[in-house]
Structure 1
């Protein structure tokens, strides 16, 4: 009988120490952890620059570290409740009940990490995910998970739930270079954030889990399955009715054709502007780009290259570049340095800016000089072999097809981009100097 009180005291002492350790870890230790750099301020989306066209239409928004942003951050009251509920159903249905850490899920994740010697399950709450998004360079290991837990508690102790949720929804990666819920609504559905339907909200809420895997332009069925799972979770939680569930399940989804628009306009020009951008803080930089003309030019490049591919039967012409300049003012109205900026490394080469040999681009100016000096389009030139002495040996110009056509008119020579008549004309006009 005497052992029972002693055993009870030991258990009470053990429980007391455990309770003190829990209080220390839950309330005291997190207070000494710094806020993630990306969350140092609740409005920590600055410094950044919003680039617009000549009429103020957005082209691109960038943070100081270069991360892509499309739209201004959305206040919580601007975000439809359907998107809030769908996101919580997908990621953290107990968000408003816990203090930033799901302990049951955390124990499960630690158990799996020990068993598999790596983290194979998440157990991350919205707050923990917000910490992870704000510190993306950290490795996935047990130490990182512990730091993430204490930092999440720090955030919960510093911000209220609405602030955390707002920051989270504005920072989520939705794939296809879309960051934040406003950008996702505009990029995928070409809609203001507040106009999203329940079905569209659930669809967007499923993308951040694995943006590449659920990319709707490559795996629409997978993204749709994820949407239907989330709608089921919302029904189970009692956040939507059976009728709302059925209506959302049957609603067709109409994505922006060909991929998101509006999030990455005039990329080659923006890269040129960024090269000289020295300003700090939130600014709005207006460019001279005419956005409708810019889109027309990009579409024309795609269409012309596709037509050439079909006509020739193989891709002899792989790229094109266009720049449209208002001659009187010198303003650049449209600039497309190549096609498919995001499709391949070659698409990021700016053909309007990259130094290269002028080649046949000089021929029109050569013949224009001849016309100004009395020649006519019907003037005859000799497309025959010719040789010019140079310090390094004889120079013998040839045409691209290695053939000669005999007497030809200026009109024919220019239309067929013949090299030999152009060289003869340049020599007759006094050499390259008059072209300068």
Structure 2
């Protein structure tokens, strides 16, 4: 008995000494490691890396930027079954332990002792939170001890639901998805609250090894992991047998879903991204900023469609330039191989690459990258006359063989099926995966199906731009900087400096009106030669028609776009006077010439600058600054920036407006030319900014009337198709038809369309502002103004209406049959006609014809 007591006593002391040693070792580790541990109270105010998102004014997603896709959700928003799936997979005793699960650690230790390698870490969810937020991913004992100590501290500082919420939002789940909401969107294209039980289990299986158990990369292994988790949920009582059996039977439905933009506005997205990056640096991509732009989704969609339609129409008018490439079908005839080669070619707009595989008398058959056949009828090839030059085309095709040959690599547009079902549309936000999702059939099988109907298309070489501004605020309503952002991200709205041609004339005429001219002023439309020291050569300007029409009223000269009248009007008003006036109304004169060619729009302006000038005309004479960003929020909705409201101001000093102080003091070099940056680092104390009056409202009202005549009676007659009386505007075409413009407005909306080549070259015969640019403007405005009441500038005080003689511009004699009404500023109205002609002939016209060299 005493021997047994001695042995027991020895074992007792050994165990006690072992325990004491363990406590000492643990204490030593704690004392050594604890000072270097980060404070866990940082988790109370943690900022998860969340991408930048750009939205339209009606809250439609435009784009998402950032390395990590994450949408944080509160624990209350997570379905209970999703929580139970993660607990079953990762930590079934989460709500019972204090941060460290002794069973799990013991199991991991036994695995290490028996196999000689670490099989599992025995980590709890709390330990994973500690690792993900504070530690590296290296697998060492020292990191594990740090993880344990941090987990114990976290459990003392935070409640279980908060810890679980941090985990579910932080965990990496493959394919750039961080957190369960991002994973639900990436793999299933829906919110986590809308997932099925099988899909929840699939996502819960990803933390163990996001690449190995990824349903896109390895669906069989992912399904095995999912089914194991479902079995664990049944064992733990989280689901019943019926739910288990239903979920086990569900097929793998995961496919890659890139960030789904509700509207295509890549030029807008890039401007917003660059602006925010300029404000906050790389934090723009990680700190959860949501940028809400002024762009409306419906107007942006209309702008996209209008510009593409107009550029494609121009392109077709000038013929088919031939295939992209020529493939030898004798060497590569298998559909699968052809489809693989086609997949390497980009999709531009909705134009899908294809290769011609068969020709008949009235049909061409081609293969596209998905493996489908497409059929192109002779009717859809009829436009494809061979391109010779901008002014010449070959004969109309009589059969497909006149246009195509076997092996031609072309582009087609599908007519009877959404192209999204066949090939990915151009989209920079879609991330390609290394493993493609499963398809319904092989390319060989698809090639035997009935062909889809398609038309032959080609990517236009011509470019263009469209921008629309809210006239009374300057807010950008829609903007398209080119045919395809993904082919060329050069934003022609803000960066392309081009000659506006006759679209510039209204500003010259407005300057003349404010210097005493009237719509009834007579200017001689006659040939003229200028030998001006400011011009390099002898200058013989002409009207576009090549004809001369004699003395002409200014109103008529503007709506018929008479060049010679505009030149003489500029000379009469004075080049310096006009330059000063242009600067006053907000037009940058640094790129404008100081010679008479200014009257014909020979200076260079961007489409945005032209639109800003027309917004001033549209709103009644107030200078507004164009802006794109309405507000910026961060995190869960805290307001970072709110654009102040614009107030049209008659009395304020132009040089000292709030707009000048608030928006210009932030940066002298905004990243987006023409658009003011937003002040993120400055507290916005003003709720309004002043847009100063820069033009006499009576002169602007008269200009409205004159530009309405451009639409009703002049070069912009095509705009009458809108059936509205509140539309005004001006066409513009430069020398050799290198640039085509239409700038038009009503009292609320100012829109400018430009068409031309990036490297200026002639557009071709009959390609004027009215034929190349006006159709783009018209298609957009048809949508923008649909259902909107007519909006005209109210007539200001000081305007009088007088009957005039249309030939002389003077007040008509009482009872004159050919008299017409004209409007004037009160002080500029023509005098009453004298009742007697005694005293000699009438005074000569103010136009100094004698000073002009006529021939």
TM-score range, shorter chain: 0.5 to 0.7
Q: How far does the alpha carbon of each residue in 1:263-290 deviate from its partner, in whole angstroms, 9 at most, with x for none?
A: 9995644531331233998765322354
Distance in 2 separating the partners of 1:104 and 1:135: 24
What is the distance in 2 between the residues matched to 1:182 and 1:77? 13
Secondary structure of 2:20's partner? helix
Deviation of the 1:82 alpha carbon:
0.7
For residue 336 of structure 1, report the CA deviation from its aligned partner.
9.0
For residue 57 of structure 2, give the secondary structure of its aligned residue in structure 1. coil
Which residue in 2 is equivalent to 1:352?
490
The reply to whether residue 235 of structure 1 matches residue 234 of structure 2 is yes
Match in the other structure for 1:325: 467
**What residue is the counterpart of 1:130 in the other structure?**
129
Higher strand share: 2
Secondary structure of the residue aligned to 1:313 is strand
Of 161-170 and 187-196, the range deviating more from structure 2: 187-196
Aligned to 1:14: 17
1:365 shift after superposition: 6.9
Q: CA deviation at 1:84?
A: 0.4
Q: 1:241 to 1:25 in 2, by over 3 A?
A: farther
Q: How far has the Cα of 1:178 moved from its partner?
A: 2.7
Task: Output one character per residue of 1:376-423: Cα deviation in whole Å (capped at 9) or x when no partner.
Answer: 79xxxxxxxxxxxxxxxxxxxxxxxxxxxxxxxx78999997999749
Cα distance in 1, alignment partners of residues 756 and 209 from structure 2:
53
Match of 1:344 in 2: none
Matches within 5 A, 1:279-290: 284-290=290-296
Partner of 1:85: 84
The residue number in structure 1 matching 2:68 is 68
Q: 1:23 to 1:292 in 2, by over 3 A?
A: farther
Residue 294 of structure 1 and its aligned partner are, at CA, apart by: 7.0
1:375-386 aligned at under 5 Å gives the runs 375=544
Q: TM-score, normalised by structure 2?
A: 0.36
Aligned residue number for residue 54 of structure 1: 57
Does the Cα contact within 8 Å between 2:180 and 2:192 map onto a contact in 1?
yes
Q: Matched residue of 1:285: which SS?
A: strand
The equivalent position to 2:46 in structure 1, one of 34, 44, 47, is: 44
Give the 3 Å change call, closer, same or farther, for CA 26–337 of structure 1 in structure 2. Answer: farther
Q: Which protein, 1 or 2, shows the higher relative CO under an 8 Å CA cutoff with sep ≥ 6?
A: 1
Aligned to 2:602: none
> Map of 1:214-363 to 2, 5 A cutoff?
214-252=213-251, 255=254, 258-261=257-260, 268-278=270-280, 284-290=290-296, 302=347, 304=349, 306-308=351-353, 310=355, 313=409, 325-327=467-469, 329=474, 331=476, 333=478, 351-352=489-490
Q: What SS does the aligned partner of 2:81 have?
A: helix
TM-score normalised per structure 1 = 0.63
1:158 corresponds to 2:157: yes
User: What is the distance in 1 between the residues matched to 2:263 and 2:67?
Assistant: 12
Would the aligned equivalents of 2:186 and 2:256 in 1 still touch at CA under 8 Å?
no
SS of 2:280's equivalent in the other structure is coil
Which residue of the partner structure matches residue 170 of structure 1?
Answer: 169
Structure 2 CA distance for aligned equivalents of residues 46 and 35 of structure 1: 17
Q: List per-residue Cα deviations over 1:76-119 (Å, max 9, x = no partner).
A: 22211110011112222222233323322442575589x45xx5
Cα contact 2:468–2:476 (8 A) shared by 1: yes
> Does the Cα contact within 8 Å between 1:109 and 1:122 map onto a contact in 2?
no
Gaps of 5+ in 2: 309-345, 357-407, 412-425, 429-458, 505-540, 547-735, 741-754, 766-855
1:61, CA displacement in angstroms?
Answer: 7.6
Please identify which structure carries the higher helix content.
1
Give the superposition deviation at 1:134: 1.4
Q: Displacement of 1:219 after TM fit?
A: 4.0
**Residues 19-77 of structure 1: CA deviation (Å, up to 9, x unaligned):** 6448848998887564467x613341369766432123456788xxx663543x32222
Q: Distance in 1 between matches of 2:224 and 2:300?
A: 36
Q: Which residue of 2 aligns with 1:406?
A: none
Secondary structure at the aligned position of 2:58 is classed as coil
8 Å contact from structure 1 (residues 366, 422) kept in 2: no
**Cα distance between partner residues in 2 of 1:23 and 1:76:** 34
- Corresponding residue for residue 194 of structure 1: 193
Whether 1:100 aligns to 2:99 is yes
Q: Using the alignment, how far apart are the partners of 1:52 and 1:306 within structure 2? A: 26
Q: Higher mean Cα deviation, 42-51 or 161-170?
A: 42-51
Distance 1:23 1:286, change over 3 A: same
1:416-431 to 2 correspondence within 5 Å?
Answer: 422=762
Residues 33 and 151, structure 1, Cα contact 8 Å, conserved in 2: no
* Cα distance, 1:185–1:375 mapped onto 2, change above 3 Å: same
Report the secondary structure of 2:94's partner residue: coil
Query: 1:202 deviation in Å?
Result: 1.1
CA contact (8 A) 2:61 2:263 kept: no
- 188-197 or 242-251, which moves further after superposition? 188-197
Equivalent in the alignment of 2:543:
374
Question: Which consecutive unaligned segments of at least 5 residues does structure 1 have?
Answer: 341-346, 378-409, 426-436
The match for 2:446 is: none
Give yes or no for contact 1:89–1:230 (8 Å, CA) kept in 2. yes
- Output the CA distance in 2 between the equivalents of 1:136 and 1:10: 38
**For 1:238-272, what per-residue CA distance to the aligned partner results, in whole angstroms no more than 9, with x for missing partners?**
32111101111223565577545369995644531
Give the equivalent residue in structure 2 for 1:391.
none
DSSP 3-state at the match of 2:291: strand
Q: 1:394: which partner in 2?
A: none
How far is 1:331 from its partner? 2.1
Question: Cα RMSD between the aligned structures?
Answer: 5.3
Secondary structure of residue in 2 paired with 1:286: strand
Cα distance in 1, alignment partners of residues 107 and 261 from structure 2: 39
SS, match of residue 43 in structure 2: coil
Pairing partner for 1:4 from 7, 10, 14: 7
1:108-119 matched pairs, under 5 angstroms: 108=110, 111=113, 115=116
Partner SS state of residue 42, structure 1: helix
Inter-partner Cα distance in structure 2 for 1:325 and 1:35: 52
